[in-house]
Chain A
Amino acid sequence: VRFGRRLALALLGGLLAGLTGRVPAQDAQVRSAPYPAAVVEAFAHLPVQDGGRIKPLDTLARILLLRIRGRRSLDVPDEPRFGALAGERLTPIEWFLDLATLPAQADRYPVFRIEDRDVLDLVGLEALAAGKRDLYAFEQLAPHVDEIAARARAHVHTEEKHRTRLQNQLVDLYEDLLAYRGLRGAFAPARLELTIPPEGRTLRRAFGEAARTVRLSDLLENGARLLAAYRALSTTAPGSEAERAVQAADLAALDRFLSAPLEATRAAAGLRWIPPGDPAEEAWQDFSELFAAALQDDLGRAGPQIEAVGRLEAALDAGLAAADPAASEAAARALVDRVQALAAARGEGRQIEAEVAFHRRDAFGRAQLLFVAGLLLALSSFLLPRSALVYGLSWLVNAGAVLLMAFGLVERCLLRGRPPVTTLYETILFVTATGTLLALCFEGVVVAVRAASARRIAIAVAAALGALGSFVAARHEVFVGEDTMPQLQAVLDTNFWLSTHVTTVTLGYMAALLAGFLGHVQLLGRLFGWRRGRPQLAAATYRWIGRMTYAAICFAVLMATIGTILGGVWANDSWGRFWGWDPKENGALMIVLWNLLILHGRLAGLWRDGGIAVLAVCGNVIVAFSWWGVNLMGVGLHSYGFQSGLKLWVSLFYASQVLVAAIGWIGLRRERPRT
């Protein structure tokens, strides 16, 4: 039943085998001036096919830099050899343009983040000078690529959870190198100037006697004719001895002439930016495929594609960072327009503009800042209880942050044509957005019923939850270093079940977590004697926190139960059984059971606000287990997102929750004799 994993491993193996090819000849040319903003803007909108979908080059560059560097930007070291760029901060797309067109320049940027120096020791690189903040340039690592590859290959086929941390980092480094190598010089074939050797009779005939050099696009246009001539040459018997020598020289010249574009296009095979003319063909072409197609096919079919190559040549000739920004901008736009038009003719690439804009807006990053500000405001409103201004501001800022998150989620849904939650990353966004929204609703109720004692609590919890959630989301994106809008595998490719089961179960996680965090406030507040001086106020406060916790638990039971049963019904439609005791199913069931335990025990009078708080905090452990823990087990049908390195954080979270529950419980017991 598990199609995916073995296939992926097999493919990875194949990919790895390809790495030991040699690094293509380095281009000495370097860049001395920043790219004009308009050129960068144009290239950001170039559609490419990656991970099975059409995305802007901007997104591809972001993901690659995020994965290798671990950040969304790159600082060029303040060294004289970088000339005017020294000390500049490069955006992902600027860095990518260097990587694709000027690999020699890009190779000097310290961009590979190696957190643990032991990884270098592991491959015998201890002599390598540490760059700033554990960053290394490709030119430093290049001589050791074979060694790294050999070491990493020993572990590639081991499942992630069975590798040590160092082994994982080694494999990560290796895969980063592969990704970098795959895109290094991706536009370089468009910079080729192919010299026609004087003894190349066939070439002179094809390109005209006057031509001294030709470009790749010229070659592509004449590819089929050249190949036919080549074939004829190698099969025709020469008439005389003199003819034989001329013919041999001609053949040798052709061979030499073709070897450079062959090698350059092969090295540029990682970037699929050429939409094929055949509408039935789903895969976009890279340089090497277009080259092969042009040599074999008739020319008419590849005409527009070759024209696109011509425009790339023109854009690079105009100089991306040339003295004449208007010319380079016009050339870059002409290229991007051409490729976008080709994509549009296939009915693809409609979301390019929107996706670039989505990343530029960075709704979630901005929401994080707002939540932090909102938290500060909410906390200061406790210190300034009479200030309606501070309280009002904290409302405004936090509500703004929630709206921003909702806006970002809606944008993602529109871009992908999917419900809000399809990946682990999106669960974090969704839990954060809905959790803060629910907490704000609680605050709204408190305001509506004029419960002065309970004011500001829910809003502070909302802000804290929002800040934490958006921080975790951002960290997770860096940690995974993959497209956050991936194509979904077949079993998940159903908007009906994604929008019903996944959404409700995730709301269940959210509400149970919110109950747990309200439990923290209840327990820690009582433990540290918050408002102890005013017993009446304290009693009312903790009663209200208890009410909110109870409400969150009720919501959790509702959503988790419906979500879990919906999951069963889905499983019955995809795997043929309603319930299979799969880890993810069990996790959801445990959330339902635990919250039912809390509610029924409350009815039985076994516990009140304090006890419920302790149990709700324990419930956080269960939610974390269900949400993250079972993915770390790597067994079961739901393992859509195993991630090593997360184990530590999840364990720390478990421990912290148990600790809070334990000391909170002890605190409650000490309270009792006094009341």
Chain B
Amino acid sequence: MRRLLTSSIAVLGSLRLSVALFGLLTLITWAGTIAQETIGLQQAQREYFESWLVFRRAGDLVLPVLPGGMSLITALFVNLLVGGLLRLLPRLRARAHGRARGLRLASGCGVAITHLGIAALLLACLAKYRLAEEGGIQLFEGQSTSEFVSYEDWEIVVHERIEAGLLREHLVPSAAFADRQDGRSLRLRAPGLPFELLVSDFAPHAEVRRGPAPPGSGLPTVDGFHLRPLAPQTEWERNVAGCLVRVLRGPDAEPEPGILWGLAQHPLAVAVDGRSFGIGLRRQRSPLPFRLQLDSFTHRTWPNTTIPREFASEVTLLDEGGTERRQIRMNEPLRRDGVVVYQASFGPAAGDPGGPRFSGLSVVRNPADAWPWYTLYAIATGMLLHFVARMALFVRDQRRALRGRST
């Protein structure tokens, strides 16, 4: 058992494994970069870096050709912890004896700190990848909001009109049904809802067309329209999702089909027992920890050029604590209450090129927001310690050799 442990430590922490991982990582980084020219950033990211295996199509076969970024980075994480810390630390003691032990110790500590820093950095990236929420806000001057809208994720919303100006909403995020891209359906029910929903045929990018669905597609035609899945855009935020729902009013009732689409003008109306419901598909919304109001937006170019010089949004933050005026500029985001708000874009409303401009802000809620700074300090310190110590050792050896030659 002990031998198994030591030998597995030896393999997992081996330098040969590191070399292989660095080589493979270089290779997929290169491949994933080149691929962006054809399939776009997000698709390349998914296929090469967020995957366990990279697949290639050869005729009808889809074969794994390379380990994906996920498996390589996971392996690297293990390798650097086992090799850079577990195997190194016991040797530090040995370094603390004999000639030039201070320098040797410093060099070893540098390596350990660096590896620890890299491991922490990888964890920070994982935290961002798994836990962060991202989205955007578009505000014209004077407007305010207390939620942001996801760039990529969708949600089904079932709302009921309670009285004038008051809606009750039931939300289902697309993460729940994004895998139902065929006839398989997901059954949704909620207490207080007098019907159930069967969601199926989710398409990340789709359009609604007039006319019957093409035969063989297996898709229903609803009121003379059908949903047509499209190839996803290379920039995913331009995708418009769609899906099919069937409304089940009771265990014996015939399901009533309907089409939900991200750009639909009106929700799907359902009336039950005098209560009226609307069902829609929209970009997922998340709450902001404060209300954000755009007071003014500045966009300046260098005189008589189109070179952008500055984008800045003057905003007022409102919450129970009161109000606060802040500025959000390029490279100077607003950090408060766990969210970071960035100046991202601007533009006039669609179809009104000369009209007033909105300010586009990005919102990220990332628990590991500050980690890269900390890990950078650690990594830089560790590497400097190591390399400077190595250099000092080299100089020392050369000096001794010189002295040896001259005597």
Query: Residues of A with Cβ closer than 8 Å to B?
Result: 1, 3-4, 7-8, 11, 49, 51-53, 272, 282-284, 449-450, 486-491, 493-494, 497, 551, 554-555, 557-558, 561-562, 565-566, 568-570, 572-583, 586-587, 589-590, 593-594, 596-597, 600-601, 603-604, 606, 622, 625, 630, 633, 635-636
Contact = CB atoms under 8 A, between A and B. Distances in A.
Nearest to B34: A633
Nearest to B48: A581
B23 A3 contact: no
Contacts of A272: 304
A486 to B, nearest CB: 7
Contacts of A497: 331
A276 B26 CA distance: 55
B119 to A, nearest CB: 14
Interface stretch (B155-163, B259-267, B338-346): B338-346
Contacts of A1: 344-345
Contacts of A488: 307
**Complex A-B, nearest 4 residue pairs according to Cβ-Cβ distance, in ascending order:** A52-B302, A604-B15, A597-B22, A283-B303
17 contacts: A1-B345, A4-B306, A8-B306, A52-B303, A450-B402, A450-B405, A487-B309, A488-B307, A490-B311, A568-B372, A576-B342, A577-B364, A593-B22, A597-B22, A601-B19, A604-B14, A604-B19
B286 interface: no
Contacts of B14: 604
Contact of B37 (A3, A558, A601, A635): A635
A51 B346 CA distance: 23
Given A49-B303, A487-B309, A562-B376, A586 B331 contact: no
A53 B16 contact: no
Interface stretch (B57-65, B121-129, B197-205, B217-225): B121-129
A604 B369 CA distance: 36
B4 interface: no
Give the one of B32, B128, B302, B405 with max A CB within 10 A: B302
A18 B363 CA distance: 42
B391 to A, nearest CB: 8
B105 to A, nearest CB: 18
A268 B146 CA distance: 52
B44 to A, nearest CB: 7
B333 interface: yes
B54 interface: no
Given A52-B307, A597-B19, A576 B302 contact: no
Interface in B384-398: 384, 387, 390-391, 398
Contacts of A562: 376, 379-380, 383
B305 A574 contact: no
Contacts of A593: 22, 25-26, 29
Contacts of B18: 596, 600, 604
B33 A587 contact: yes
Interface residues of B, number: 65
B41 A581 contact: yes
Nearest to A582: B41
Contact of A586 (B32, B37, B304, B311): B32
Contact of B387 (A554, A565, A601, A604): A554
B342 A487 contact: no
Given A52-B301, A593-B26, A575 B379 contact: no
Interface of B: 14-16, 18-19, 22-23, 25-26, 29-30, 32-34, 36-37, 41, 44-45, 49, 121, 124-125, 128, 134, 301-311, 330-333, 340, 342, 344-346, 362-364, 369, 372-373, 375-376, 379-380, 383-384, 387, 390-391, 398-399, 401-402, 405
Nearest to B16: A604
Contacts of B331: 491, 493-494, 497, 570, 573-574
A8 B305 CA distance: 9
A597 B23 contact: yes
B333 A493 contact: no
A272 B305 CA distance: 12
A636 B362 CA distance: 18
B364 A576 contact: yes
B102 to A, nearest CB: 20
A138 B150 CA distance: 55
B379 A565 contact: yes
Given A8-B306, A573-B332, A576-B340, 18 more contacts: A7-B306, A52-B305, A52-B307, A490-B308, A493-B309, A493-B310, A558-B384, A565-B372, A565-B375, A574-B333, A577-B134, A578-B372, A581-B32, A589-B29, A593-B29, A603-B15, A622-B26, A636-B36
B81 to A, nearest CB: 15
Contacts of A575: 342, 344, 362
Contacts of B364: 576-577
Contacts of A490: 308-311, 330
* Most chain B CB neighbours (cut-off 10 Å) among A4, A570, A572: A572
A487 B333 contact: no
Contacts of A7: 306, 308
B387 A558 contact: yes
B50 to A, nearest CB: 9
A590 B346 contact: no
A457 B340 CA distance: 52
B373 A569 contact: yes
A590 B30 contact: yes
A635 B373 CA distance: 27
A491 B330 CA distance: 6
A573 B398 CA distance: 45
A273 to B, nearest CB: 12
Contact of B44 (A53, A576, A581): A581
Contacts of B26: 590, 593-594, 597, 622
A343 to B, nearest CB: 13
B404 to A, nearest CB: 12
Given A449-B401, A600-B19, A604-B15, A576 B362 contact: yes
